[in-house]
Amino acid sequence: MVTPAVVLAGTRSGVGKTTIATGIMGALARRGLRVQPFKCGPDYIDPSYHLMACGVPSRNLDTWLLSHDTVLEFYGRAAQPANVAVVEGVMGLYDGHANLTEQGSTAEVAKLLRTPVVLIASAARVARSVAAEVLGFQKFDPSVNIAGVVLNGVGSPRHLEFCKPPIEDATGLPVLGYMPRRDDLRVPERHLGLIPTVEGVVVEEWFDKLTAQVEETIDLDRLLEVATQAHTPIVEPSIFPAQSQSQPRRARIAVAQDKAFNFYYQDSLDLLEAWGAEIVPFSPLYDEVLPSEVGGVYIGGGFPELFARELSANSSMKRSISDAHAAGRKIYAECGGLMYLGETLTDFDGEAHAMVGLIPAKSSMSKGRLTLGYREVEALAEGALLSKGERVRGHEFHWSVADSPASAEQATYTVCSQDGRIEGFRDGSLWASYIHVHMGSRPGMARRFVGECARS
């Protein structure tokens, strides 16, 4: 049986997708429905809002990082037990990896899942012209099933009357509801976008107000009717082991999870568990030492720059990680994890804080431009995730800068899409890089990491 599903896509970034998606998810969950959330693209922060709304982890669906069959496999595993699936898009509906193709876009995901799209359009500073915008999205690719519209930023009932009837007349699409212009429903932001809910800034009061507004001005019954148009194909497992290949526990892997480090793809962690890992969370901020008897350490991205003083002060944890490296334990770090393993981290105020010191590099918060984009990388040596010469797709997203290693003898990767730029750092059992990698991007990668951790 196919799970009812809907894709919530925007006309552009900043149109209110996350706010509206979180409110719709929360309102449906409060009806007693089991709602499975998803996020298009390589995003870590929006899924934290989905988790808050639905009570279950959100899953990333990225048709550039992952093969189409892998996206369908991840989607099917998570959506099957749910009453309804809600997929939040990325950027604008048709924005993706390239300028002349749909690769990596919300539109590509919607077509792959055969799922209807509800288009979120801004009514701010516009009236009848919003109908022309919606009509353009409808005509741009008729194979995308745009099945309804939600308006954001409506100023008054009269303003709604200048927007809703023209849309329905010009496109034949129902306007399923709207969100009024309310500053108190905006989600708090900073340098990398929305603030993750794990930091406790997003309060229950905000979520309650948001959900109440959605229940008042968005027709959830009609939205659920639209969701029944989903006809998602089912695929056989290929990234996860089949049930007949269930794996025994082979390795304990310590995963950094606290306010400073919380950027992980849920399916990556699930893949590690499926291939025999016992995931053991730990906090570089608050724990004194690593969990006992671990064969590997995984330190993902996050915001170490905001907690640099506390991370620096936890000397016993820094020693524990250094001892694990000296003992040959596998250590894999991404972005914020790389910054933490370096010599120093200079925060926004220009103050340098001593970090673990396993990487001969100093990182600092850049006053310049954001480094952002998809990357394809090639391993320069044998490592816990890849063999020398193997390639994998990933994503880079950071304001900080770090000293680069002087030669390929120290680097982790060459970046294939950037003239072989050297990236990251390696030292024996340690691999670190600014590149975020999804464990499902390359078949066998999760199994290899678990096996390497078991051997160490």
- pLDDT surpassing 80 at residue 198: no
Cα(61)–Cα(375) distance, rounded to whole angstroms? 17
Angle 16-163-157 from CA coordinates, rounded to 5°: 85
Give me the mean pLDDT over the 253-261 stretch.
97
What does the pLDDT read at residue 68?
97
Per-residue pLDDT tens for 203-236?
Answer: 678 889 999 999 999 999 999 999 999 999 999 8
pTM: 0.94
Higher per-residue confidence, 390 vs 417: 390
What does the pLDDT read at residue 193?
53
Q: Residue 400's CB: how many other CB atoms inside 10 A?
A: 20
Cα(76)–Cα(1) distance, rounded to whole angstroms? 11
What does the pLDDT read at residue 194?
55
What does the pLDDT read at residue 403?
81
Give me the mean pLDDT over the 398-417 stretch.
84
Give me the mean pLDDT over the 360-374 stretch.
80
Task: Name which of 449, 374, 420 is nearest 65 in CA terms.
Answer: 374
- pLDDT surpassing 70 at residue 202: no
What does the pLDDT read at residue 201?
62
What does the pLDDT read at residue 402?
83
Give me the mean pLDDT over the 412-421 stretch.
89
- pLDDT surpassing 80 at residue 307: yes
- pLDDT surpassing 70 at residue 369: no
Q: Is there a contact between 284 and 340 (Cβ–Cβ < 8 Å)?
A: yes
Active site residue 335: yes
Q: What share of the chain is helix, strand, coil (3-state, %, to 5)?
A: 35, 25, 40
What does the pLDDT read at residue 205?
82
Query: Among the residues of 80-190, which ranges form H helices?
Result: 106-113, 129-140, 157-171
Most confident of 175-189, 403-417, 430-444: 430-444
* Tokens 């007693």 belong to residue: 32
What does the pLDDT read at residue 427?
94
Q: What percent of the chain has pLDDT over 90?
A: 84
Q: Annotated catalytic residue: which of 40, 54, 163, 335?
A: 335
pLDDT confidence of 195, banded at 50, 70, 90?
A: low
- pLDDT surpassing 60 at residue 326: yes
Give me the mean pLDDT over the 29-47 stretch.
96
Cα(123)–Cα(151) distance, rounded to whole angstroms? 6
E strand or H helix that includes residue 37 = strand 35-40
Q: Is there a contact between 40 and 186 (Cβ–Cβ < 8 Å)?
A: no
Give me the mean pLDDT over the 38-55 stretch.
94
Burial environment of residue 344 by CB neighbours within 10 A (0 to 12, 13 to 18, 19 or more): middle
pLDDT confidence of 407, banded at 50, 70, 90?
A: confident
Q: Looking at the chain, how many residues does it have?
A: 456
Characterize the bridge pairing of strands 175-180 and 189-190. unpaired
- pLDDT surpassing 60 at residue 401: yes
Cα(255)–Cα(290) distance, rounded to whole angstroms? 10
Amino acid at 424: G
Higher per-residue confidence, 424 vs 369: 424
Per-residue pLDDT tens for 427-448?
Answer: 999 999 999 999 999 999 999 9
Give me the mean pLDDT over the 301-310 stretch.
94
Give me the mean pLDDT over the 344-372 stretch.
87
SS3 450: helix
What does the pLDDT read at residue 372?
78
Per-residue pLDDT tens for 65-118?
Answer: 999 999 999 999 999 999 999 999 999 999 999 889 999 999 999 999 999 999
- pLDDT surpassing 80 at residue 396: yes
Computed over every residue of the chain, the mean pLDDT equals 93
Angle separating helix axes 17-30 and 220-227, nearest 10 degrees: 90
